Amino acid sequence: MTDALPDPLIALRPWAAPELTSWGRLPMNAVDRRSGAVCLDGDWRFQLLPAPDAPPGEVWSSSYVPGVWTMQGTDDLPRYLNVRMPFAAFPPDVPAANPTGVYERAVDVPAEWTGRRIVLQVGAAESVLLVHVDGRPVGLSKDSHLAAEFDLTGVVRPGERAVLRLTVVKWSDASHIEDQDQWWHGGITRSVLLYATDPLHLADVSVRARRDGDLRVDCRVRDAGGALPEGWYVSGELDGQLLTQDAEFDRANAEDERVSAFLGEARLRAAVPGVRAWSAETPELYGLTVRLHRADGTVADTSRHRIGFRDVEIDGRDLLVNGERVFIRGVNRHDFHPLTGRTVSYDDMRADLVLLKRFGFNAIRTAHYPNDPALYDLADELGFYVVDEADIESHDHAHEIADDPRYLNAFVDRVARMVLRDKNHPSVIIWSLGNESDYGANHDAAAGWVRRHDPTRPLQYEGAAKRGWADPDLASDIACPMYAPLEECIAHAMSGTQTKPLIQCEYAHAMGNSNGTLADHWAAIEATPGLQGGFIWEFWDHGILQRVNDGRPAGRGGAGLYDNGVAAPGHRWAYGGDFGETDHDGAFIADGVVFPDRTPKPVMFEHREIAAPVRIEAFRHEGIVLGNHQHFRGLDWLSGEWQLALADGGTLTAPAELPDLRPGETAAVPLPFALPEDGGEAWLTLRVTTAGDEPWAPRGTVVCLPQVRLRAAPPVAHTPVGNRPVEVDEDGLLVHPLLTAAPTLSLWRAPTDNDELGGMAARWRDWGLDAPTREVVAVRRDPGRVTVVADHRCAGGTVRHEQVFTAVEGGLLVEECAELPEALYDVARVGSVFETVAGLNLLEWFGQGPWESYPDRAAGAPVGHHALPVDELFTPYLRPQESGGRHGVRRFTLSAPDATGLAVRLDRPRQVSVTRHRAADLAAVAHHDELVPRAGCVVHIDAAHRGLGTASCGPDTFATYLVAAGVHRWSWTLRVL
């Protein structure tokens, strides 16, 4: 830096110059600089200006760094759009109204740094960062999700105080390639550090560690004074074992006088015997220390790393880790927090990964930018395969930008800097060129750089792959489509033309009550060579905790104002449109497998069972066949307990001794129980837990609950009691002391997000299924029996509904039949709905549970005896919708604290829901704080219930889970407890 360089804030106008990606910024590297650094996090003086060229005022407030100003009390609030840019300007232009944050603080430079090289590191800022020290320009950076470093040696004095100013411009030409599906924010989102090195320093360290124990460490050395001094050398050790310097490599490079004078290179080698290979199942790490020495042997610089020995390769259509074809059970993850927006702490990230690990995930796609550096350390430690994705998404202007040479530097710069930062992490197994940015020359240029710099990992990019899953000439080594229909994936794998692994970068959209057919997908993936998994969209619901009274984010002070997915009174989870913006994409931001407070949604239990490491393969009369479905690990880290659930009894338990199985092996074990001779339905569950403490779970944490049916239910017989009257009023409605609304026909559900965005809800409303007109056709009264026939008329046709109420021993038998005309070819449900008196607050049932399940999302809910308070049955999806259902229910009771209440037995396993809300209540509101729970219970018993699918952004449910026209029959008994 020299004083002659222009102040970029005045002269360069970098927020509208796509050819300019940085100025004065140091090259990216993988050297660890955290030790000894001065952390500058905390409260900074702050002003928010209306535009970057607006003069700062005299009044300063404060803003916490790291953090986004959109969550810290400014008038520039969060805004959500998925595809469209938040302004109309065409790339590379930006609007004149351009919020600009000015951060300022005094920094005391340590006196002991005299004679050292002093560097400022800004972890991330969006979208343009301008750095000044004591009013002098130092540099600028774009790329909102990677750190920027600047050499301050010539502009600060050790032992003195300097004034550091960081100016962050929200909108820039770079915003057009940061058009990711997330909230738009502005600010400094990761930590700010000041550190010092010796003038002779490690410029970069590159590690290649193979599973056979071969280790190579390439070091690049620079001197801040210019030419390198004579006699310097590099040493290293791996868990105490000294590494040797590759003399042949040094001699070869010494022939290049320019390199030897200004850029030193050295290589350390080692062959590690008996190496413990790294994988997501066995995340074995070694401590590597690299030291740079002066000629006299003293240490000038040190870098510490935790490395893993592993290989990644593609063999034909298989992605191999350490020679094994592994299934990718992945999720897409943004850096997100409901109180701090884009800023996440180490503890936040660890909690994210621990939760994912407990529910069977083994892979993360860093959608759609490099995540916080600590995430990769945690992925290395806990065991995750990472698809590291560059900060490139030009969704609104994808076609124009992909081949625009003005953006060429930005594409290559962002991809290269990601690779340079993250290359030493064993968890990173694939590089991604970005997301939803079409495909053009800019991608090919970036891909070429990566292939030359790091040939040890494959590349993927969905925009290239969609041009042809098998095309070998495109810049993607993996066929990584988005939401491809399962039948197309299977057909491709069986076509004989497949040339690459097929791993969907997004395949199940978790918006609201969703992720139907997940188990069907995985059954096909595991059974079809060439299919290897995919990544669910996504981890979080990006709901921001909002104060209802003033509509502003709760901010950092909102901790403790939410629990189990529910915001405290006076607060709610905000989504698009809740901050006053008129142009937005609504609740599409709420599409995660966890709620904003990291509470698991029911789909997490589904995924846990789908990913089970040990499974029941078969039941035979002589015993149970168990299988190890891991890739690298035995079953010694697991414990088991057998649980036998008897429909007409309780649950028996016994310890389970898991067999010694290598990955892929099976073994038969004896049946742990002698079945009772009563002939009732019986289900055997293997409750699998951690045998000891794991880094991600304490001893006893449930890992999976594989289950098998040992005996089916016998037919249910009813004995009529003809001398007991059945009371039905003049409208043909049942009169019962525990019911406030009689059982009537239900054909509609409060639309899920999939129903709304997939177009089904609009069709159901057009058909009038939300409010059909009931007309009694006939009421026939016989001793102990009443038959009611009613027509339910709607725009889509007339549904004839027949109910037969028969007094039987112990209660009332209700037999129902509904005939749907051909025009009603796909409805939400066919069944009964009734409402109970208040005070029935406990549901006990035999069926699938305890968590919510639906016909196409039921693999993770084991059959058994379950009990929950009614108020805990409802699932609070951010936008109220159909929820709280339990699939495969055989019988249930609703009781008061004194054990009085009602009991229902079903003719066969049915979909049942018990909540405090009518479907109309849920459909009428946008947020849960607007709901008023009813005193009694709203009970649905469905003969058929439509699957959930993922049609909000992906395939609908399968035909087998649709509710078709025709005749539907169901029956149930009602008795008083």
State the catalytic residues. Answer: 436, 506
d(CA 261, CA 250): 13
Asked whether 393 and 372 are in contact (CB, 8 A), the reply is: no
Asked whether 24 and 1 are in contact (CB, 8 A), the reply is: yes
d(CA 185, CA 126): 8
**Which residue matches tokens 């992605």?**
319
DSSP letter string over 161-195?
EEEEEEEEES--GGGGGB--SEEE--EEEEEEEEE
Asked whether 614 and 627 are in contact (CB, 8 A), the reply is: yes
End-to-end CA distance of the chain: 84
d(CA 977, CA 971): 19
245 C-beta neighbours (distance < 10 Å), count: 16
Inter-CA distances, 975 with 334, 738, 781, 808, Å: 50, 10, 20, 9
d(CA 436, CA 186): 22
Q: CB-side exposure of 93: number of CA atoms within 13 Å?
A: 7
The distance of Cα 342 from the centroid of its chain, to the nearest Å, equals: 15
Report which residue type is found at 943: A
Asked whether 300 and 198 are in contact (CB, 8 A), the reply is: yes
Q: CB-side exposure of 948: number of CA atoms within 13 Å?
A: 32
Q: CB-side exposure of 966: number of CA atoms within 13 Å?
A: 7
Residues 6+ apart with CB under 8 A from 322: 211, 277, 279, 310, 311, 632
Asked whether 476 and 465 are in contact (CB, 8 A), the reply is: yes
Which segments of 244-367 are extended strands (E)? 244-245, 264-271, 286-293, 299-307, 312-315, 318-321, 324-325, 328-332, 363-365
Residues 6+ apart with CB under 8 A from 742: 733, 734, 735, 736, 834
Closest CA to 185 of 170, 172, 174, 175: 170
d(CA 127, CA 133): 20
Pairing of strands 328-332, 299-307: unpaired
Asked whether 307 and 288 are in contact (CB, 8 A), the reply is: yes
The distance of Cα 507 from the centroid of its chain, to the nearest Å, equals: 12
**Which residue matches tokens 């009174």?**
569
d(CA 712, CA 975): 24
Pairing of strands 299-307, 286-293: antiparallel
d(CA 115, CA 110): 11
Asked whether 626 and 681 are in contact (CB, 8 A), the reply is: no
923 C-beta neighbours (distance < 10 Å), count: 19
Asked whether 149 and 139 are in contact (CB, 8 A), the reply is: no
d(CA 600, CA 682): 29
